[in-house]
Structure 1
Amino acid sequence: MKNLTGILLAVTLVVACTKKEAGQTADVQAQSTTGTKLTNNELKIGISQEFENFNPLIASMVATTYMQRMVNRTLVVIDADGKWVPQLAKSIPTLENGGAKVVKLGGKEKLQATWEILDNAVWGDGTPITCEDFALSVKVASSPNVGVGEKESFTQVEKIESVDKNPKKCLFTYEKAKWDFYQLGNFYPLPKQLEEAVFKKFGAQKEGYEKNSLYSKDPTNVGLFNGPYVISEMQLGDHVTFTPNPKFYGVQPHIKKIIVKLIPNTGTLEANLRSGTIDLISSLGLALDQALAFDKKVKSEKLGYEVLFQPSTVYEHIDLNLDNPFLKDVRVRKALNYAINKEDLVNALFEGKQQPAIHSITPRDPWFTADPAKVTVYKYNKREAERLLDEAGWKVGADGIRMKDGKRLSFTVMTTAGNKTRELVQVYLQNQWKQVGIEVNAKNEPARVFFGETTKKRAFDSMALFAWVSSPENTPKSTFTSKNIPTAKNGWSGQNYMGWSNPQVDKTLEALDTEMKPEKRIEMVHEVLKAYTDEVPVLPLYYRSDVAVIPTQLKGYRLTGHQFPETNVVENWNLE
């Protein structure tokens, strides 16, 4: 998963209603009434989330993923219609078309698939993309010294070798026969001609490769990129400039320069749009109330913009740090959950158009269930919350806050600074929990710190408020299994920031990988969700939608609603 928080997916909160039908393309061509007509010479995009290192193996912030898709591509990807399609690959191998097969190797059942890279796919410096670039990714990601959020996306592949002496025809040998072996949407290649030497020199040091990768040291080196654009300028904390990659294997992009500007205060995005400082507000921009309010202004003032809404696979929630001594008691975790009136929260903040969440899988996913016979549903129940806290030995003190053994029942909820809606959510939750005798303080950090250090290294005291974005039928191993609890020993790899450990969940998710029957997979996922909702390592809040504001003359722009953003087809955007 990616955080909007994942990958880690934090993105700004948006409303869960659809004003633009799924898959609809924004092809309106009316001239903007707010200023000079835009041309393909330049497009300025506003985002509210900070970005980080552009190394595709290391990056975990969704803002980086948003821009990464402009400059780098993978073998396959999910398109805006929710279908897996080839990208760097000529086609997708399957068991049915003979491109993949189950084999016995060393007494174990494994899977082999032949992936063919496009003949004209090259890096920005003209070096052909080959099997060796993908093999390098596996080697780097497998190192215990390199912190990779979705490490198993790479380590599931044991070996990559060329076939028929063709450097672009690659035989992938997977560690086991997995049903989703072809879902390599985050399996990025690394440019061997540039990055192999860095890994050889610094790979033995903890975080040595991350700090010395050319993506960090020389981020405008065109040889690092294979997409329709390259990075021509980068200023962390301010902006990134993209220009067309003349070596791109596909059609050349229409827009000659794209500048992505960081505007961390979401309250000023509209003003920046109206002034012409930016031309477009990305899906990492407006908060819910701002999007709704601006949509009304667009229509009443006949502005030259369109506000797009797209139901998504984004899950807003609070990760609980289970190392916190108070949170080790499941009764306290359940009390926290019961004390949240989610229906009132979405009505108060989202005009009732946002759907309360009951677990990590969204209604857009075939694996979703709301059946109380299959998952535990926590409807608002103040009395039950109080009963559980009483049972756990927490008694109400003179100031209304519960005490036990001389200690206050107090937590800290952290999130990304400058996110207006998340700050409102914090205030709402503080008031809700205070009513049952729980004190909660707020502490916020810049997104780059919150995701790059605090959550990644599980340095939050008790609560981390953010969002995950994923794709349908995405196995939650990176966030649920105990081997994906980030530690110094494993180089802070994994996304199980809660520190949740359930041996049966580990076992079921391992078995899920090799279960070829769809109906059996659904049954297994529901078993995992039952444990997830019973043990409450996370406080679900609501399911979200993507939102963006685009100039009405922009063609070819489509919100996807999943972890592969609209920039995945940036070469199709056209302002003329």
Structure 2
Amino acid sequence: MERLQEKRLLQELMRGRLSRRQVLRRAAALGVSASAMSALLAACAREEATPAASPTAAPPAAGTPAATPTAAPAETPAGTAELGPATFQYEEPRNKGGTLIEGSFADAKTLNPILVSDTASGAVSDLIFNSVIRVDPQTTEPVGELADKWEISDDGLIYTFTLRDGVTWHDGEPLTADDVKFTYDLFMNEATGSPRRAEMTERIKTVEVVDERTVRFTLNFPVAPFLVEQMVYGIVPQHVLQDVDPAQLAQDPFSTGQKGRTIGTGPFMFEEWVKDDHITLVKNPNYWEGEPNLDQYIWKVVPDATVVAQQLKTGEIDYGDIEPSQLEDMRLQPNVNIYKYDTFDFTFYAYQLDPEKTTIFQEKEVRQALLYALDRQAMIDAIRFGIGRVAVGTMPVMSWAYNPDAIQNKYEYDPERAKQLLDQAGWTPGPDGIRQKNGQRLAFTIYTNAGNKIREQYVAVFQEQWRQIGVECTPQTEEWNAFLDRITGTKDFEMFLVGFSWGVDPDQSTMWKCSAYEGGFNMNKYCNPEVDQLLDEALRTTDQEQRKELYTQMQNILMEDLPSAILDFPQALSVVNKRVHNLFPNDVDDRYNAHQWWVES
């Protein structure tokens, strides 16, 4: 059952027209297993662009964020649109009231945070509910939301949280530790059907109420990312749901949307849901961080990316994502700010390392030569319209484990070095210019999914640039389901190109561990016990600097072995109407300060 659910989620993510913000929310919503779902295959809308022309006391809640070092502004636009600031800049509200409308490709499926497994549901429920911990979008560090402070035992097994005083549900009832325990009991109850159950039960041993404001979690083993992976889900009210059969929770009006029953502790309260059209929320005047500035927030379903862009221009929606191909036109609009920012997404190709399927990539010199032969910066400039970064190592720029200066093999474009490596490995040019060794030609097929314009262009560049070093590559595109089955089911490939998305925590076990070949996303049968050891040690080490060093060691092994080639980290583009203030698009959590959003009258 878990494997079927995992495959269904992969289908939605890799094929869907999802923004990176939305994918991240879905990433937080997935919990098929700790090993399988710490990273998600991503097929974002920006990948579908039109082809290019040629102890911890909790820090303050994230309402007053620090400056971010990672957001990247777009270049100076040619027209009259303005750049969104690269760091959050709080503006004292000059107006109270009004409505903010966000455009989305999809409608929600549920409003219950325990059951969320889709993008839209997570985005809306984030405004209704609060979690014990939230991830600071500037630092990617855990900060207290409902928790005022927390303590971690020396052995890393016991987490004790103290809840903020004075937090109330939308109906006025006080939040207590019983609500937290009740919520996590539902997460781990098989009858509930939560997509996070497997990971929760794997990691959490017990949840105990110490007193009205204190709750204690005991783990089965130390988990370094416990705060940012298990404690970031919305808490639900025990007094509303205690008499509901967990097996009927999905059908209860609390989950499907009923004014007065769908209640949380968040900045906005549920008002109305017109299926496949919009969801309306109204401000919570008693919100614990302060009364929100907006009167209303509307999640508007706009299923076409072109229509989203058009409605951003006309002002019919205030906030939405655009594709790189739409950037130049959007720059001409006088009423918007454009934000370009780093993401956890990446594009990669994987070599088949199972010798029973092919022997062509068994030598690391061949794998290394192919990456040296690619001009990745030129590909980003020409195909992604410059909206992305060349990957250095396996960690995204957003990660606290990003350490590019310590990466030994950066694989900068060097076709001569590529030829030397192939020569050293004994692959010599044949009569037709294609290299051969022991009667075998250095020729193979690379698969990707049909209709993904960026990936189709990438493999065309591979074919051309690899030919220049004496390698024959034949691109092959397949309909999505067939492609997915090839790379995750039969694993019948020589090479494939696809997208992935790391989580906020830098654990990458699901792609690199030997055991991840069955049930994870190690689809090419890479196995290095030294990498396994480093990943295991890092996952159980709570000291961040130690973890960073372990992940740097891991990356240097991976960049030498090169079982897969991480090519780039695409950036995202979001557009916000100039009448909207204090909304800061980012790849971690753009809702962290929703109570501070305000619009001009």
Give the AA of the match of 2:215: C
Contact 2:369 2:418 in 1 (8 A): yes
Give the TM-score, by structure 2 length: 0.68
- Specify the alignment match of 1:572 in structure 2: 596
- Which letter maps to 2:257? T
Counterpart secondary structure, 1:368? coil
2:152 is aligned with 1:100 = yes
Q: Residues of 1 paired with 2:117 and 2:465: CA distance?
A: 31
Match for 1:279 among 305, 318, 322? 318
In structure 2, relative to structure 1, the CA distance for the partners of 1:154 and 1:505 (3 Å cut) is: farther
The 3 A distance-change label for structure 1 pair 232 and 508 is farther
How does 1:27-176 map onto structure 2 within 5 Å? 41-47=98-104, 56=113, 65-82=122-139, 84-89=142-147, 91-93=148-150, 99-102=151-154, 109-118=155-164, 121=167, 128=175, 130-136=179-185, 139-140=188-189, 148=196, 152=199, 155-164=202-211, 166=212, 168-176=213-221
Letter paired with 2:445? S
Cα pair 2:188 2:200 within 8 Å, conserved = no
Give the aligned partner of residue 220 of structure 1: 257
Residue 208 of structure 1 is matched in structure 2 by: none
Q: What residue is the counterpart of 2:232 in the other structure?
A: 187
Matching of residues 333-352 of structure 1 within 5 Å: 333-334=367-368, 336-350=370-384
Alpha-carbon deviation of 1:305?
1.2
1:511 aligned onto 2:511:
no
CA contact (8 A) 1:142 1:151 kept: no
Say if 2:349 is the partner of 1:315. Answer: no
Query: Is residue 110–residue 175 contact of structure 1 (8 Å, CA) maintained in 2?
Result: no
Give 1:220 shift: 2.3
- The verdict on how the C-alpha distance between 1:341 and 1:572 changes in structure 2, with shifts beyond 3 A counting, is same
> Which residues in structure 2 correspond to 1:428-443 (within 5 Å)?
428-429=461-462, 431-432=464-465, 436-443=471-478
1:474-553 alignment, distance < 5 Å: 474-482=506-514, 487=519, 500-553=526-579
5+ residue gaps, structure 2, are 1-9, 14-19, 28-39, 48-70, 75-82
State the shift of 1:42 in Å: 3.8
* Contact 1:136 1:189 (8 Å CA) reproduced: no
Partner of 1:23: 87
Q: Secondary structure at the match of 1:309?
A: strand
Please tell me the residue identity of whatever aligns with 2:280. Answer: F
Q: Is the 8 A contact 2:170 2:265 kept in 1?
A: yes
Give the alignment partner of residue 379 of structure 1, picking from 409, 412, 428: 412
Does structure 1 conserve the Cα–Cα contact (< 8 Å) formed by 2:380 and 2:389?
yes
Letter in 1 for 2:310: A
Higher RCO (CA-CA < 8 Å; seq separation 6+): 1
- Displacement after TM superposition at 1:566 (Å): 0.9
Structure 1 residue 294, shift from structure 2 partner:
2.0
Matches for 1:553-568 after TM superposition, within 5 Å = 553-560=579-586, 562-563=587-588, 565-568=589-592
Aligned pair in 2 of structure 1 residues 21, 225: CA closer, same or farther (>3 Å)? same
- 3-state SS of 1:183 partner: helix
Equivalent position of 1:414 in the other structure: 449
**SS of the residue 1:345 aligns to:** helix
1:516-539 Cα shifts (integer Å, max 9, x gaps): 554432221112112332333433
In the TM superposition, what are the counterparts of 1:217-366 in structure 2 within 5 Å? 218-220=255-257, 222-223=261-262, 226-229=265-268, 230=270, 232-233=272-273, 235=275, 238-244=276-282, 246=284, 250-253=289-292, 254-265=294-305, 267-281=306-320, 285-295=321-331, 297-298=332-333, 303-310=334-341, 312-318=342-348, 320=350, 325-326=357-358, 329-331=361-363, 333-334=367-368, 336-350=370-384, 354-366=388-400
Post-superposition offset of 1:338: 3.6
Cα drift, residue 171 of structure 1? 0.9
Q: What is the alpha-carbon distance in structure 2 between the residues aligned to residue 510 and residue 422 of structure 1?
A: 33
Aligned residues: 514
Alpha-carbon contact 2:253-2:262 (below 8 Å) kept = no
Q: Deviations over 1:210-255 (max 9, x none)?
A: xx844999532554755334484264xx555131375865545414
Letter paired with 1:548: S
Deviations 1:80-125 (A, max 9, x none): 4325321121x231xxxxx3322xxxxxx45322213345556667
* TM-score, normalising length: structure 1: 0.71
Cα distance change, pair 84–398 in 1 and its aligned pair in 2 (3 A): same
Unpaired runs of 5+ residues, structure 1, are: 31-37, 94-98, 103-108, 203-211, 488-493
